[in-house]
């Protein structure tokens, strides 16, 4: 059950991060929103017996974090 919730959080965070990276590339605010959602999903995935949800959320955290790091978190 926790893995399903983790995957759900990962999908939501991934969609939010996708909006911040591709259609509106000058709006990093959505990456600041996606990052905590993915962190909660990764925590749920870590408590689960499966690794799929945790890995999905870790990828989203890396993508959003890299995007914020490369642009200084502003643009």
pLDDT digits (tens, 9 = 90+) for 10-66: 999 999 999 888 877 667 788 899 999 999 999 999 999 999 999 999 999 999 999
Whole-number Å distance between alpha carbons of 23 and 58:
22
pLDDT at 59: 96
Report whether 35 contacts 63 (CB < 8 A): no
What pLDDT shows up at residue 20?
83
pLDDT-based confidence at 75, cuts 50/70/90?
low
pTM across the whole model: 0.89
Polymer length in residues for the chain: 75
Phi, psi of 49 (to 5 degrees): -85, -15
């Amino acid at each position: 059950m926790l893995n399903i919730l983790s995957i759900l959080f990962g999908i939501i965070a991934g969609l939010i991060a996708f909006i911040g990276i591709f259609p509106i590339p000058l709006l990093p605010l959505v990456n600041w929103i996606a990052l905590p959602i993915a962190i909660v999903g990764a925590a749920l995935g870590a408590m689960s017996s499966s690794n799929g949800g945790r890995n999905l959320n870790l990828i989203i955290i890396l993508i959003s974090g890299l995007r914020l790091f490369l642009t200084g978190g502003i643009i």
